[in-house]
Amino acid sequence: MTKITLDRRELLAPLFPDKDKWLFVSGLAGSSKDAAGLTNDGPNLFTMAGCMGSAVATGLGMALSAPEKQVAVITGDGELQMGLGSLNTVATQAPANLTIICIDNGTHGETGGQEGHTAQRTNLAMIAQGSGIPSVKEITSADQIADAHDFIRNQPGPRFLWCRVLPGDPTAFKRNFNPAECRIAFRNAYFQSA
Amino acid sequence: MSKHPHDEWSQVLFRQFKDAGVDLFTYIPDAGNARLAELAEEDNETRLVLLTTEEEGVAMAAGADLVGKKSVLMMQSSGVGNCPNYLSFSKGGNFPCLMMVSMRGDYGEQNPWQYPMGQAVDKILEAMGVMVFRVDRRDELEAASQAAINAAFRNNQGAALILTQKFLGAKAF
């Protein structure tokens, strides 16, 4: 079995040194904290604190509607598994500008660290491959982040990057939880940049 | 080629949606949206997206809205039961969510499995702040769909066009 040594708090910054060029959607809880830490809760990031399972579909709607932009979904293993069918929808639509980053800590971190399916037998990379997503990669250690950086830029999209991390704390960051305010901020920034 | 039984009004609805700026049509197939889905697939300016479950379309609508695009989610009434949690986007976040719901479990239904959800559609939508615009007769269609379009995209909220079995006809078993 692969030994996991990756600390999630050290993942996103080296993966996205060009973070201002991307549009980000993040799933609830830890992945949104990590994403908000990356962008300083900037207006090119829409974080969620509910609607569990919706992050991939939200990113898909965005990627199909803004084909000139690179869109990255950053979400956790629990959130992703609540909307697994969306991987099939992504594969069929095949937006070249969509990247899915799954930060998999193998636990439901926000609710007390209850062990999840991926700590048992579930392999999310094989699920993504089986869905028909053309480019899939797994990383488990910090020395693989440079490869992952190139993977999400050079491999044909849509892409799925399975980042298996230690079950430690996410980035400490207090983001705006108001979805209506976050919607307006994101749209305004997008229209100004377009 | 014989004409689809729902061709006439589907053409009308497609034109209304397109005129409103909708370019993303998400759906779970149903007899009631089959012709409209074909039209969305055939048109060069619109995209048809097959979902795996209806609530994906609520999230896709939110993602499209974040970059200024409009979508419509087409589903059978049973699919309304899959959507409430995701309708937090519209009720709590002021995201537009335009839906077209083709009814089962109301007038003339012959499949008993369809009644429980069919009869709960209005209450579930109401509970999540979705305005409901019902079509029982052909002459109600244009006004109801325009009202749903206006509510969704001018007031930034959930709005459902409900095509009843009086309008669609009940499926025979």
What torsion, rounded to 10 degrees, do the Cα atoms B119, B90, A24, A8 define?
Answer: -70
Per-residue pLDDT of B110-153, as tens digits, reads 999 999 999 999 999 999 999 999 999 999 999 999 999 999 99
**Mean pLDDT, rounded, of chain B:** 96
Residue ranges of chain A with pLDDT lower than 50? none
**CA separation for the pair A164, B23 (Å, rounded):** 37
Residue A86 to residues A151, B71, B85, B131, Cα–Cα distance (Å):
21, 17, 16, 27
What pLDDT, on the 0 to 100 scale, is given for residue B3?
79
Largest separation between any pair of C-alpha atoms in chain B: 46
CA-nearest residue to B23 within chain A is: A65
CATH superfamily for B7-168 is Thiamin diphosphate (ThDP)-binding fold, Pyr/PP domains (3.40.50.970)
**Mean pLDDT, rounded, of chain A:** 97
DSSP letter, residue B172: P
Percent of chain B with pLDDT over 70: 99
Name beta bridge partners: B99: B73, B160
| β-bridge pairing A114-115 and A107-108 | antiparallel
Per-residue pLDDT of A114-131, as tens digits, reads 999 999 999 999 999 999
B112 phi, psi to nearest 5 deg: -60, -25
Tell me if the bond preceding A158 is cis, omega within 30° of 0: yes
Hey, what are B142's tokens?
């244009």
Instruction: Say if CB A151 and CB A135 are below 8 A apart.
Output: yes
Q: Where are the domains of chain B?
A: 7-168
Per-residue pLDDT of B70-81, as tens digits, reads 999 999 999 999
**CA separation for the pair A34, B96 (Å, rounded):** 28
3-state secondary structure of B52: coil
What pLDDT, on the 0 to 100 scale, is given for residue B170?
81
Q: Which of A85, A179, A191 sits opposite B93 (nearest CB)?
A: A179
3-state secondary structure of B55: helix
Per-residue pLDDT of B90-108, as tens digits, reads 999 999 999 999 999 999 9
Name beta bridge partners: A72: A24, A99
C-alpha distance across the termini of chain B, in Å: 26
Chain A CB contacts of B64 under 8 Å are 61-62, 64-65
As a three-state string, the secondary structure of chain A is: CCCCCECHHHCHHHHCCCHHHEEEEECCCHHHHHHHHHHCCCCCEEECCCCCCCHHHHHHHHHHHCCCCEEEEEEEHHHHHHCCHHHHHHHHHCCCCEEEEEEECCEEHHHCCEECHHHCCCCHHHHHHHHCCCEEEEECCHHHHHHHHHHHHHCCCCEEEEEEECCCCCCCCCCCCCHHHHHHHHHHHHHHHC
Is A58 in the B-facing interface, judged by CB distances under 8 Å?
Answer: yes
With 0.95 as the threshold, say if the pTM is over it: yes
What pLDDT, on the 0 to 100 scale, is given for residue A1?
66
Cβ contact, residue pair B66, A183, below 8 Å:
yes
Q: Which helix (H) or strand (E) holds B66?
A: helix B55-66
Is B89 in the A-facing interface, judged by CB distances under 8 Å?
Answer: yes
Cβ contact, residue pair B65, A23, below 8 Å:
no
DSSP B104-130: -SSTT---GGGHHHHHHHHHHHHHTT-
**CA separation for the pair A70, A63 (Å, rounded):** 7
Cβ contact, residue pair B67, A66, below 8 Å:
yes
Q: Which of A51, A88, A190 sits opposite B67 (nearest CB)?
A: A190
What pLDDT, on the 0 to 100 scale, is given for residue B173?
75
**CA separation for the pair A46, A48 (Å, rounded):** 7
What pLDDT, on the 0 to 100 scale, is given for residue A2?
81
